[in-house]
Amino acid sequence: MTDIKIEGAEIIIVGGSSGMGLALARRLLAEGARVTIAGRSAERLEAARRELGDPADLKTAVLDLTREKEIAAFFHDCGPIDHIVSTAADIEGAYQLLPDLQLSAAQRVVESKFYGPLLLAKYGAPCLPPSGSITYTSGVAAYRPAARGSVVAAVNAALEGLVRALAVELAPLRVNAVSPGWVDTPIWSFVAGDAKQATLEAMAKRLPAGRVGRPEDIADAIRFLIGNGFTTGTILHVEGGHRLV
């Protein structure tokens, strides 16, 4: 049984307008949390609000994870919070073989999946109580890299190193990450384009779990990390056995 109260908790989800973040918002709202979903697009945030049924305990905030001043201002104005989650990633254009890889695309991955999480900790940690937590999302690419995925693999691995270091530096705050495998989310449109469905089906046949992940699978894992007060500096693998094959 988890030991951190979720009902009434103030929880911020950066990247909460779609995919895993949206599934987590739905899960936490159902448990009585007060949730703020943050992202770069006001239109996507409003669409997410409508999809979630426009509940009273849901707020939205336009926030660019790559802009330090925006992050600093957000936490200066947001008041006390209990937990921070980031599922955000900008990987558009990053899945390329080296001859075709543009440095600007690689930099966007680093900014959204490493510097952004670092800044969330820098400015968000002072707003958290000792029982609070920060949870990031890395990914199986750090363990099963593939051609075209060198940048994403490297950044995921770097983020996991950051998790361990922050868990020590920010203690007793808990800092963890979920490492998803292949999950059926909109991000696959950037990775595989029109071949998305065929690509996911081929992976499902390889995995010991017999299917690719759903956003709800990752939401469940993040919910565990938020609620378990004895887990910190941990990478929770939710990948259907992908590291085994």
Q: What is the pLDDT of residue 230?
A: 97
Token digits for 190?
């950037």
Q: What is the pLDDT of residue 190?
A: 64
Token digits for 188?
């696959």
Query: Is residue 227 in some structural domain?
Result: yes
- Domain holding 148, by residue range, is 10-236
Query: Is residue 5 in some structural domain?
Result: no
Decide: 74 and 48 in contact? Cβ < 8 Å: no
Give pLDDT tens digits for 31-78.
999 999 999 999 999 999 999 999 999 999 999 999 999 999 999 988
- The DSSP code for 183 is B
Q: What is the pLDDT of residue 159?
A: 98
Q: What is the pLDDT of residue 145?
A: 93
Query: Is residue 64 in some structural domain?
Result: yes
Q: What is the pLDDT of residue 184?
A: 92
Query: Is residue 19 in some structural domain?
Result: yes
Q: What is the pLDDT of residue 1?
A: 43
Query: Is residue 196 in some structural domain?
Result: yes
Total domains in the fold of the chain: 1
Which residue has 């993040």 as its token pair? 222
Query: Is residue 4 in some structural domain?
Result: no
Token digits for 40?
């770069």
Query: Is residue 48 in some structural domain?
Result: yes
Least Cα distance to 121 among 61, 168, 156 occurs for 168
Q: What is the CATH number of the domain that holds 151?
A: 3.40.50.720
Query: Is residue 245 in some structural domain?
Result: no
pLDDT, average across residues 19-25: 97
